[in-house]
Amino acid sequence: MKKLGRMWTLIAVMIGLSGVLAGCTTVTQRANDTDKWSQIKKQKKVVVGLDDSFVPMGFRQKSGKLVGYDIDLARAVFKLYGIKVDFQTIDWSLNVTELHNGTIDLIWNGFSITPQRAKQVAFSDTYLNNDQVLVTLKKSKIKSFADMQGKVLGAQTGSSGAQDIDTYPKLLKDRIKNHEAVTYDSFTNAFIDLNVGRIKGLLIDSTYANYYVKHQAHPEDYRITVGSFPKEKFAVGLRKGDVTMRRKINAGLKQLAENGTLEKINEKWFGKKVDTPLLDSK
């Protein structure tokens, strides 16, 4: 009887597991097959997922107000279509999951195009180019990636930088302590640890690094080192089924580049020095 009971328990578990797997498959298939533009246009609302501590792309001021480059850009694009943008803070490591299950409609927050991500999501045209850089304190005397030998490196969980560490191990992974980066839920927490010496270097997007260092009380205390990681491309992440919204976003970005709005947003957040392929192609 005990054997029979265990057998039925095993069957029940297998049935339950198959149901979960089927559910996951259904969610992914729906994300890949369903075009939601007509629904979004009818509701006049689209939900953008973001890490609200990613300066200057999308972050909260001391007052709690959400501001940033991507905030301005997303609002400008959807204003062309009479659609309001709601911004939803998410766990960045679960961004694709949140997109597929419908919690959000877009990932628009310094989201880099990578081969791994391209398997799961569709991308808009590139609107900004970016580099992965190493940020250190000058007092640590780290002047190159090679100087990270045996030292502790930090990175954000789920970031393209974290992926680069594994994809190009000879650049940093093979050098750093334990051959693995310490990961953080946000760059804000990573910088806290860098400033107190818990980590000696932080691999981070150049857009974030430049903005953060510039706004510190003593920017001269930091060193930003560019290594040999490939240049990255920021784009909007969409469900693969949302082909109409992808077309609308690309058309909107092009229109903003042509009417001068994109240039104004660029200058507001980055000044004159910004690598924007949409303006290069004008």
Per residue in 87-137, pLDDT tens?
999 999 999 999 999 999 999 999 999 999 999 999 999 999 999 999 999
Residue 29: predicted pLDDT: 79
Dihedral of CA atoms 18, 20, 25, 31 in degrees, nearest 10, equals: 170
Residue 23: predicted pLDDT: 54
In a 3-state reduction of DSSP, which class is residue 156? strand
Q: What are phi and psi of 84, to 5 degrees?
A: -80, 145
∠ Cα 12 18 20 (to 5°) = 105
Give which of 132, 120, 118, 112 is closest to 235, Cα–Cα. 112
Give which of 163, 241, 240 is closest to 203, Cα–Cα. 163
191 contacts 202 by C-beta, under 8 angstroms: yes
Residue type, 17: L
Residue 273: predicted pLDDT: 73
Residue 125: predicted pLDDT: 98
CA 36 to chain centre: 22
Number of H helices, E strands in the chain: 11, 15
Strand partners, 48: 87, 106
> Strand order in 201-205's β-sheet?
182-184, 153-156, 201-205, 132-137, 222-226
In a 3-state reduction of DSSP, which class is residue 232? strand
CA–CA distances in Å: residue 94 to residues 69, 91, 157, 207: 22, 5, 10, 22
- Rounded to a whole number, what is the largest CA-CA distance in the chain? 77
83 contacts 89 by C-beta, under 8 angstroms: no
- What pTM was computed for the model? 0.82
Residue 33: predicted pLDDT: 76
Q: What are phi and psi of 240, to 5 degrees?
A: -65, -25
Residues of the chain with pLDDT under 50: 1-4, 20
Residue 4: predicted pLDDT: 46
Residue type, 70: D
Distance separating alpha carbons of residues 76 and 278, to the nearest angstrom: 15
- What secondary structure letter does DSSP report for 224? E
